[in-house]
Amino acid sequence: QLQLQESGPGLVMPSETVSLTCSVSGGSISRSSFCWGWIRQPPGKGLEWIGTVYDSGGTYYNPSLRSRVTMSVDTSKNQFSLHLNSVTAADTAVYYCVRPAAVGSNYYGMDVWGQGTTVTVSS
Amino acid sequence: EIVMTQSPATLSVSPGERVTLSCRASQSISSNIAWYQQKPGQAPRLLLYTASTRATGIPARFSGSGSGAEFTLAINNLQSEDFAVYYCQQYNDWPRGLTFGGGTKVEIK
């Protein structure tokens, strides 16, 4: 059974970069046609898609965050990562790593979620 | 960007009742919509995709309908474990974009 686990700093200073890692267990991150993603949820608010990364390295980002986001996959560690730079208080949220159930251009929802990790941006 | 609008924001219902939640897209998205359930302190759980296909392990009391820009999630015979927040998600632009609705909270009356 595929499982995801986020890790990263709980507290980040404004203007710095937050780096989060998602460890994949119960399956290989480099299985063909799979992709991986990040979703965030500010306190008391709804869900926001951050972006999607393929094991080939291809990426798609939310246009509102594109200038500040980088995602990557490390197949040797069975992990994928999120880097968000120039953070402000508005980036305070629970960050979830996810596995979209997708094959090529066909999408079937995000069927595997990590438990989420809280990131607080504050000085 | 396709905007998803959910209504109402909150529904107060009694166990055993049937509820319907609405989601409207700012433009036609065919049947490219998924629904998620989120309980306090938990990650969301996938309920439905392609508007009406239940995900693995989802009870038959959850059903979805609609196409184009108007969609509905129905829950029959509401159980205590169904009180939660429900989100719709459009994926018409997949993989270039995904957007969620603001959520509907189903609370105990």
Q: Which residue of B96, B98, B105 is the best one to mutate when testing the A interface, meaning the one whose CB has the most A CBs within 10 A?
A: B98
Residue A46: which of B34, B96, B100 has the nearest Cβ? B100
Instruction: Indicate yes or no: CB of B45 within 8 angstroms of CB of A113.
Output: yes
Instruction: Indicate yes or no: CB of B49 within 8 angstroms of CB of A108.
Output: yes
- B55 — pLDDT class (breaks 50, 70, 90): very high
Instruction: Indicate yes or no: CB of A47 within 8 angstroms of CB of B43.
Output: no
Residue B96: which of A60, A101, A108 has the nearest Cβ? A60
Could you read off the pLDDT of A58-117 as tens digits, one per residue? 999 999 999 999 999 999 999 999 999 999 999 999 999 999 998 878 899 999 999 999
Q: Which residues pair with B62 in a beta bridge?
A: B75
Q: What integer best gives the mean pLDDT of chain A?
A: 94
Burial (CB count <10 Å: 0-12, 13-18, 19+), residue B65: middle
- C-beta separation of B92 from B14 below 8 A: no
Q: Answer with the residue of higher pLDDT: A29 or B80.
A: B80
**Is A55 in a helix, a strand, or coil?**
coil
CB atoms within 10 A of CB A88: 10
Q: What integer best gives the mean pLDDT of chain B?
A: 97
Instruction: Indicate yes or no: CB of A96 within 8 angstroms of CB of B94.
Output: no
Could you read off the pLDDT of B60-101 as tens digits, one per residue? 999 999 999 999 999 999 999 999 999 999 999 999 999 999
In this prediction, residues A50-65 reach a mean pLDDT of 93
Q: Is the pLDDT of residue A31 over 80?
A: no
Write a three-state SS string for B32-80.
CEEEEEECCCCCCEEEEECCCEECCCCCCCEEEEEECCEEEEEECCCCH
In this prediction, residues B10-26 reach a mean pLDDT of 97
- Residues of A within 8 A of B48 (CB-CB) are 109
Alpha carbon of A63: minimum distance to chain B alpha carbons (Å): 8
